[in-house]
Amino acid sequence: MLFNKPFNVLSQFTGDPGEKTLADWITNKNVYAAGRLDKDSEGLLVLTDNGAIQHRIAHPRHKWPKIYWAQVEGVPSEQALEQLRRGVMLNDGVTAPTQVEIINEPTIWSRDPPIRFRRNIPTTWIALTLREGRNRQVRRMTAAVGLPTLRLIRVAIGPWRLDALQPGELRELKLDEAAVAELLAVRVAAAQ
């Protein structure tokens, strides 16, 4: 399943009382998230009932590309972008090199609640392609180069893209044996 996880929802089926979880949208309890998105991040989450596929997507050893759109505070300098591309020193070590570019503001859904707006501080959208998955990695990387992330949306994982899925919508995929074998056999090229 491809699911567009809304803002302020946990990437799991259980949570503390009052917290929104995947169970609020997905009735099939035989699927598991292949990787996670923080509660305050939005976008593509892949769920599967196939443990081998779940491991292939989620384990950093397989280096599946994940593409994020981040709205950051400020205007990135070329130096900041180059730092992100080379790798950033975080408290748990240097990140792997990252593809990053400034993008036009995407046409996307509004967020509830909206991000804070400050008249005198511009924001910029950047696209980042990561092949590792540390805890809150994009947010920590952008903060380390002086560009705090205000909004974060994952738009692709391996061959799958968010496309027109709106928050809370899901799309089921039926993978035949050949498709499963292909996913398990090769590293996936970055989604275009």
- Mean per-residue pLDDT of the chain: 88
* pLDDT-based confidence at residue 141 (cuts at 50, 70, 90): very high
112 is catalytic: no
**What residue ranges do the domains of the chain occupy?**
2-185
The tokens describing 4, both together, are 């567009």
Q: How many residues does the chain have?
A: 192
**Per annotation, catalytic residue among 38, 92, 112, 176:** 38
Cis peptide before 113 (omega within 30 of 0): yes
* pLDDT-based confidence at residue 58 (cuts at 50, 70, 90): confident
* Cα 134 from Cα 3, distance rounded (Å): 21
The mean pLDDT of 162-166, rounded to a whole number, is 93
Q: How far is C-alpha 152 from the geometric centre of its chain's CA atoms?
A: 7
The pLDDT of residue 183 is above 80: no
> Domain 2-185: which CATH class?
alpha beta
In tens, the pLDDT along 81-133 reads: 999 999 999 999 999 999 999 999 999 999 888 887 777 889 999 999 998 87
pTM: 0.89
* Cα 21 from Cα 160, distance rounded (Å): 22
3-state helix, strand, coil in the chain (%, to 5): 20, 30, 50
